[in-house]
Structure 1
Amino acid sequence: MEKKKINFSEEERAVLLDLLSRHRSVVENKRTDAASASRKRDSWKKIEDEFNSRHNVAPRKWTQLKKCWENMKDKWRRRNAEDMRERFATGGGTPPSSEMTDELQRVGDIASHMAVRLPNPCDSDRSRHDAMPGGSQSSNQLCTPSVAALLSQTQDTPLEESGESSI
């Protein structure tokens, strides 16, 4: 059985975040082809070398650093979801302030793609104003062009004209 690893200290996580901010374009790239995977692995190895060259950190393998980064992103997602639940809870009054730590805010800045929410007019977790920035939009404006064309064909012609019965 393998010996338990030492937990990352706050200082080690800060060093990792500094290194990731320099390598984020490769590490957070969503491509999964062989060339991208190779570049990601090389970047993680560079991060490992830079991380281990610091005097105030315990030596870590790139796989451990990657796992720590994944754990930090997961913690950010959980905290963000909790903030959203609190924000949309009933009860009135002023909305609660976010309890994101500086570390979690940096995680969100580095992996900024995680904070993007696609607009969905049917999403019950968002107010209509948040779901459709810029005011009210028709459902055709929120759809892809091909779907919008299909919708306009079915919505613009009355049932009597389209040859369908109303029964």
Structure 2
Amino acid sequence: MEKKKINFSEEERAVLLDLLSRHRSVVENKRTDAASASRKRDSGKKIEDEFNSHHNVTPRKWTQLKKCGGTPPSSEMTDELQRVRDIASHIAVRLPNPCDSDRSWYDAGGSQSSNQLCTPVAALLSQTQDTPLRVRCYGSFVFFSLPMF
């Protein structure tokens, strides 16, 4: 039977966040070539050694440090989360896409239930219909239907 793993303390999380911010360019590199993988292994070994050299931390391997996931999200932005956001701020950028509605309903005649128009084809098709045409978009798929009265 496997031994119970010891949870990360707040101090250990702070130390790990500090180390990750220093090695951010290597750890977050998305490349998978041999040179990048070698740099990631070396950086992981450095982070492990630096982490274990701090007092009041439980010695851990790099594989354990990578799995430090955290606790359930709190309702407010803590100092720790603020530091994480500063380290990985480029990840949270959301780009608007007017052609992808993600399951929003739109009236093809021009009125819409959201801020974006789903597709101009729906407006053209609605001109040939006596009743308003409804459009449902799932990612890149577009479905046309008549509303239920």
Residue 62 of structure 1 and its aligned partner are, at CA, apart by: 0.6
Q: 1:40 to 1:144 in 2, by over 3 A?
A: farther
Range moving further from structure 2, 104-113 or 6-15: 104-113
**Alpha carbons 1:140, 1:148 under 8 Å: kept:** no
- SS at the partner of 1:60? coil
Q: Which of residues 132, 153, 158 is equivalent to 2:127?
A: 153
Which residue of structure 1 lines up, in the alignment, with residue 118 of structure 2?
Answer: 143
Larger radius of gyration: 2
Question: 1:125 and 1:65 mapped to 2: Cα distance?
Answer: 36
Q: 1:122 to 1:24 in 2, by over 3 A?
A: same
Question: 1:60 and 1:30 mapped to 2: Cα distance?
Answer: 24
Q: 1:121 to 1:104 in 2, by over 3 A?
A: same
Residue 110 of structure 1 and its aligned partner are, at CA, apart by: 1.2
| 2:148 corresponds to 1:166 | yes
**Alpha carbons 1:140, 1:152 under 8 Å: kept:** no
**Alpha carbons 2:44, 2:62 under 8 Å: kept:** yes
- SS at the partner of 1:158? coil
- SS at the partner of 2:116? helix
Q: Which runs of 5+ in 2 are unaligned?
A: 134-144
**1:89-112 per-position Cα deviation (integer Å, ceiling 9, x unaligned):** xxx999999622221221122122
Residue 152 of structure 1 and its aligned partner are, at CA, apart by: 22
TM-score by length of 2: 0.61
**1:102-129 per-position Cα deviation (integer Å, ceiling 9, x unaligned):** 2122112212232121231245589999
Q: 1:22 to 1:151 in 2, by over 3 A?
A: farther
**1:126-152 per-position Cα deviation (integer Å, ceiling 9, x unaligned):** 999999xx999999999999x999999
- SS at the partner of 1:156? coil
Q: 1:97 to 1:50 in 2, by over 3 A?
A: closer
Q: 1:111 to 1:31 in 2, by over 3 A?
A: same
Q: 1:130 to 1:136 in 2, by over 3 A?
A: closer
| Structural RMSD (CA) | 8.6
Q: 1:140 to 1:115 in 2, by over 3 A?
A: closer
Q: Which runs of 5+ in 1 are unaligned?
A: 69-91
> What count of residue pairs does the alignment treat as equivalent?
138
- Flag the structure with higher strand content: 2
Q: 1:35 to 1:135 in 2, by over 3 A?
A: farther
Question: 2:65 and 2:13 mapped to 1: Cα distance?
Answer: 9
